[in-house]
Amino acid sequence: MTTGTPITYLFDPLCGWCYGAAPVLDQLASLPGLALELAPTGLFAGAGARPMEPRFAAYAWSNDQRIARLTGQVFSEAYRHRVLADTARLFDSGPATLALTAVVLTDPDRMRPALRAIQHARYVAGEDITDTALLARILTEAGLPDAAARLAAPDAALRAALGQHITASQALMQEMGAEGVPALVVGTGPSCRLLPASVLFGGADALLGSLAAA
């Protein structure tokens, strides 16, 4: 387990900006002296889920194109036509967040590659990551068979862990005054500090400068 200055990354697996932040997140994870923790907030799960209506899909695609121009991340036509156009499915991050919770319980050091695989399935391959069976397959292919097995047969312990993680992440958001995701919190306790989300989209130099100031 990595030790060092704790950094909490608040995110949601259905957040396009969180997907856009993935390259800088990888840079952050590679920096020495830092301990990166991924904290799913459940913002688009439960009461935060919504129908995939045509107007919302058009707004999402427009926003995604802005993210793509800024970050270079791929938002494919398969995603546009197979995910955003599927009005039969909810925009619901609950299943993906449950999958990531299964990773936390079985192989917590693999949380970041698991998130990356789930994001790739949605935004590049155009797959439906609200489908639990698909998510279990993604975890298996990512070398996380134990997490896949937990997700395929979710028990009370997994669902309790999901609730605990979301509650803790949302409490941290409220405490720090974070208005959305992605967000970075440096430190713990009274000395912790919320970094502006812009540091996740300004490259390594901006990130390092903000960390030094923190």
Q: Tally Cβ neighbours within 10 Å of residue 179.
A: 9
| pLDDT value of residue 203 | 73
| DSSP code string of 81-106 | IIIIT-TTSEE--HHHHHHHHHHHHH
Mean pLDDT of 6-28: 95
- Residue 155 belongs to what domain range? 5-213
CB 111 within 8 A of CB 38: yes
Q: Please tell me the total count of domains within the chain.
A: 1
CA separation for the pair 25, 3 (Å, rounded): 17
Maximum Cα interatomic distance, the chain, rounded to a whole number of Å: 47
pLDDT, position 89:
93
**Which CATH number do you get for residue 148?**
3.40.30.10
Question: Does the structure show a pLDDT above 80 at 205?
Answer: no
DSSP designation for 4: S
Top-confidence residue, 66 or 189: 66
Calculate mean pLDDT across residues 49-55: 96
32-36, 82-86, 181-185: least confidently modelled range = 32-36
The H or E element that residue 184 is part of is strand 183-186
pLDDT the model gives residue 2: 52
CB 181 within 8 A of CB 17: yes
- Confidence at residue 165, expressed as pLDDT on a 0 to 100 scale: 96
| Per-residue pLDDT at 137 | 98
The per-residue pLDDT of the chain, averaged, comes to: 94
146-178 confidence digits (pLDDT tens): 999 999 999 999 999 999 999 999 999 999 999
pLDDT at 103: 98
Supply the pTM of this predicted model: 0.95
Taking the C-alpha atoms of residue 184 and residue 41, their distance in angstroms, rounded to an integer, is 12
Burial class for 63, CB neighbours closer than 10 Å (0-12, 13-18, 19+): middle
Q: Flag whether pLDDT at 1 surpasses 50.
A: no
